[in-house]
Amino acid sequence: MSTFKNTPATDGINTRLSHGGGDPHAYHGFINTPVVHASTVLFPNTDTMRRRAHSYRYGLWGTPTTKALEETLDDLEGSAGTILLPSGLAACTFPLLAFLSSGDHALIVDSVYGPTRRFADTVLRRMGIDVEYFHPGRDGGIGPLMRPQTKVVFLEAPGSNTFEMIDVAAAAAVAKAGGAVTMLDNTWATPLFFRPLDHGVDLSIHALTKYPGGHSDVMMGSVSATAETFPRLRDTQMTIGVNAAPDDTYLILRGLKTMGIRLARHEETALALAEWLETRDEVAGVLHPALPSFDGHDLWKRQFKGSSGLFSIVLRGGGVREASVFLDSLRLFGLGYSWGGFESLAVLADLSDRTLATASPEGQVIRLQIGLEDRADLQRDLETGFAAMAAAGA
């Protein structure tokens, strides 16, 4: 049964989010999907148990709670199946484990999420997998890098911290022609603004910790797959024995109800601040794909339906000391990792692991997560940071 039983595809996204996540009439009319805590599931008889002909067989394999979220994400992504995992990083690493073996070659975009890169450089290399990175703006695409041993092409659009854009459909087509599986970290856009499977990607990855959760109080990840790739993905998940906890799953289901409204606010405030930051002498560049001045803007506009609340700025001149003066003087922008919650955050981006898409020579990169606060207050906070830099002779 579709979790959007009463909301056809012609309904708006906020209507579908509000009414998705389970059928109330299957739970005595309660509108929120119950939180099912379970390990053992009882079968009615030995024949049913032997054939496993039961809706649920064991807590690890899923419950009505996890099923509701999986089906909701499938409807949003247009996918054949979704697995849930206890963190966004796990969502990045599991598909790599599922589709790579010793002797294989993996192509990974150089602007990938740092912890994903660490996993590739440590665990995957120890497994005997040849990991190769490519520049997101590589002329001529990835075709020349493909080998007979290439089994995975891992993308992130836009790129982590520096937001480089890539022609997703073109990369996916090259990968498919070469017999490789394509996977994309889609956390920045969510399926509301970009659906990777519509562009030929096989697996769409999300840190549900971010916008779907939305309140900085839960960690979870998901991988949504095509009909061809889902069986192997699910088998890997169950073989390793990892699934999402029921209470965390419930928090994501709850967060999805308001994600459309929150994303609209994140998008509006972030773009307004990005445009203002372009006018500041202290800023050498604003790395926001929705800005016409951004190098990958045309690619973003062609592929995406919107932008979220995460972007970066390049401080003009100076180094870590100057960036620290700026960051330490902020009041509303917290100094913390993650993003996608209600609060604004700022962090000095570490790009030292890059080999091709390297840091800007103009200054330090500061990543900003724009929360739900009033724009005028956030602008004044950033002005305070710039004033502190000036006062310190930075």
Q: Note the pLDDT of residue 2.
A: 41
Residue 309's nearest CA partner among 276, 333, 274, 348 is 274
Where along the chain do the CATH 3.40.640.10 domains lie?
13-255
Compute the average pLDDT of residues 263-268: 98
291 pLDDT band, cuts 50/70/90, is: very high
Is 0.85 topped by the overall pTM?
A: yes
Lowest mean pLDDT among 35-44, 85-94, 265-274, 341-350: 35-44
Quick one: 200 exposed, middle or buried, by C-beta within 10 A (0-12, 13-18, 19+)?
middle
Quick one: 214 exposed, middle or buried, by C-beta within 10 A (0-12, 13-18, 19+)?
buried
Q: What are the structure tokens assigned to 253, written together? A: 């289901």
Class of domain 13-255: alpha beta
CA–CA distance, 226 with 365 (Å, rounded to integer)? 36
Compute the average pLDDT of residues 91-103: 98
Q: Note the pLDDT of residue 3.
A: 45
Quick one: 323 exposed, middle or buried, by C-beta within 10 A (0-12, 13-18, 19+)?
buried
Q: Note the pLDDT of residue 1.
A: 36
> How far does CA 310 lie from the centroid of its chain?
12
Q: Name residue 153's beta-bridge partners.
A: 107, 182
Q: Name residue 40's beta-bridge partners.
A: 58
pLDDT top residue among 240 and 17: 240
Lowest mean pLDDT among 38-47, 89-98, 251-260: 38-47
Per-residue pLDDT at 346 exceeds 70:
yes
Q: Note the pLDDT of residue 23.
A: 78
Q: Name residue 313's beta-bridge partners.
A: 286, 366
- The string of pLDDT tens digits covering residues 14-28 is 888 888 777 777 777
Where along the chain do the CATH 3.90.1150.10 domains lie?
259-391
Class of domain 259-391: alpha beta
CA distances from 30 to 19, 35, 64, 65, 130 (A): 12, 12, 14, 13, 51
- The string of pLDDT tens digits covering residues 102-148 is 999 999 999 999 999 999 999 999 999 999 999 998 877 899 999 99
